[in-house]
Structure 1
Amino acid sequence: MARTRAADYDERREAIVEKAAELFADKGFEGASISGLAAACNTSKSLIYHYYASKEELLYAVMSSHIDDLLDAVNNLAVAQGKPAERMSTLIHEFMDIYVGAAARQKVLLNDLRSLPDERRSEIVLKQRSVIAAMDRLLAGVQPALGKDKHRLRAATMLVFGMINWTSNWYRPKGPVSPDELASLATALILDGAKGYKGP
């Protein structure tokens, strides 16, 4: 007979993922251990393995939960109305909210992607490409000159992500600049920069 699933099964899985994200972000995937995770969760290794079969499965859960949140923001924007600049502002604000609330997961996604098994890594990369493609479309809408040059469009898109992806490394939400103000500042820099581009 199959073991009955606990009523708080999903909550326990999420709590383990959250601690795993913090541990992987602090020590790196290779430097972290299930024993260390069990200690951080105040539980046993066997209970960790009850919820996740391996450290690699936990790594995938950390990354997929984060990239899925970013992809949800992109998909929500796809059905939203508004001019390209307004849509860009909406997406940057949503991304910043996600990054600020999931700093450890973002760090793990940036640093430990190569530690995933090939099939799992391919799934994450495919989702990343969908997020990148959405930013391509927004920038092309804001500045048609970029839309006519796919190489410079992609370069501009990666510059955008280069600016916002590393926010979690230095930004302190309780500091003098609020997350909303930070998102507005990032949006202004992106939009003004894109609109000022006239081509090579």
Structure 2
Amino acid sequence: MARGRAPGYDTQREDILARAAELFATQGYPGTSMNEVAKACGVSKPALYHYVRDKSQLLAEIATSHVTRLQTVVNEVTALQLKPEACLRQLIERFVEEYAGARHAHRVLTEDVKFLDPQDQTRVLSVQRKVVTAFAQAVAQARPELVEASLNKPLAMLLFGMMNWMFTWLQPAGKLSHAEMAPVVADLFLGGLGAVRLDPVSPPPTRRTRPATKTLSTGDKK
């Protein structure tokens, strides 16, 4: 009889994937060893292999899980049956916020797919293409004339260029959050620079300055 999984197995496995994603994102997939993953997870290396076969499986599961979640977001938004522009805006805002909650996995997906085994790479890229196609269709529904000009997919790719690389400059502890930037990205894509509204963005914190010295008037003594 096969031995059953210990209580907490799934939770521990999810923690291992999250820790591995953080390591891959911060120091690169090739530069991360299974010893480092085990240490970060607080388990021995033999115990780590109880949860995953090898480092390539870690990478495949991180990438697959993230891209599958993105496909789920597309399905959820599509199910709302919104008007075309509202649907596209919802897709943009949901994706930006999704990236915020999975920034390590997202960085792994964008930078380390090339290290996947061919079969895993094909599977992940297949789901990615479906996500891009969904955005291209949303663009086409908002602007049907773009289809004849073959511009709906290139515009969708430009949109992903804005969203996908926000992690390189938008820091979690920065002045702006992903939630604040999500409607800005939607405004910019849908209406251009002139359509960007200032209200979703929190004003920068007031800088503390030294007490102002008294300004000399005509009657003041120097």
Q: How high is the TM-score relative to the length of structure 1?
A: 0.92
Q: Which residue of 1 aligns with 2:216?
A: none
CA distance in 1, matches of 2:152, 2:90: 20
**Cα distance, 1:167 vs. partner?**
1.1
Aligned to 2:166: 167
What letter corresponds to residue 22 of structure 2 in structure 1? E
Using the aligned pairs only, state the percent identity.
37
After the TM superposition, which parts of structure 1 deviate over 6 Å for at least 4 consecutive aligned residues? Answer: none
Report the CA distance between 1:149 and its aligned residue: 2.5
CA drift of 1:162 comes to: 0.3
Instruction: Report deviation, 1:192.
Output: 1.1
Alignment-derived partner of residue 220 in structure 2: none
Check whether the contact 2:159–2:189 (CA below 8 A) recurs between aligned residues.
Answer: yes
Given residue 76 of structure 2, which amino acid in structure 1 is its aligned partner?
N
- Check whether the contact 1:92–1:183 (CA below 8 A) recurs between aligned residues: yes
Q: CA offsets per residue over residues 122-160 of structure 1, 9 Å max, x none?
A: 00000000100010011111212212223x222111100
Q: Which amino acid aligns with 1:163?
A: M
CA drift at 1:9 = 1.0
Q: Check conservation: 2:63, 2:105, Cα contact below 8 A.
A: yes
What TM-score, normalized to structure 2? 0.83
Whichever residue aligns with residue 110 of structure 2, its letter is L
Q: Which residue of 2 aligns with 1:144?
A: 144
- Identify which of structures 1 and 2 has the higher relative contact order when contacts are C-alpha pairs closer than 8 Å and 6+ apart: 1
Would the aligned equivalents of 2:78 and 2:87 in 1 still touch at CA under 8 Å?
no
Alpha-carbon distance in 1 for matches of 2:166, 2:6: 37
Contact 1:142–1:191 under 8 Å retained in 2: no
Q: CA deviation at 1:102?
A: 0.9
Aligned length: 193
Quick check: 1:93–1:183 contact (8 Å CA) kept in 2?
yes
Gaps of 5+ in 2: 196-222
Amino acid at match of 1:65: S
Mapped to 1, the partners of 2:172 and 2:40 lie a distance apart of: 24
Could you tell me which residue of structure 2 aligns to residue 83 of structure 1?
Answer: 83
The answer as to whether partners of 1:92 and 1:187 remain within 8 angstroms in 2 is yes
| Farther-moved stretch of structure 1 (170-179 vs 104-113) | 170-179
Q: What's 2:157 paired with?
A: 158
- State the Cα distance separating 1:68 from its structure 2 match: 1.0
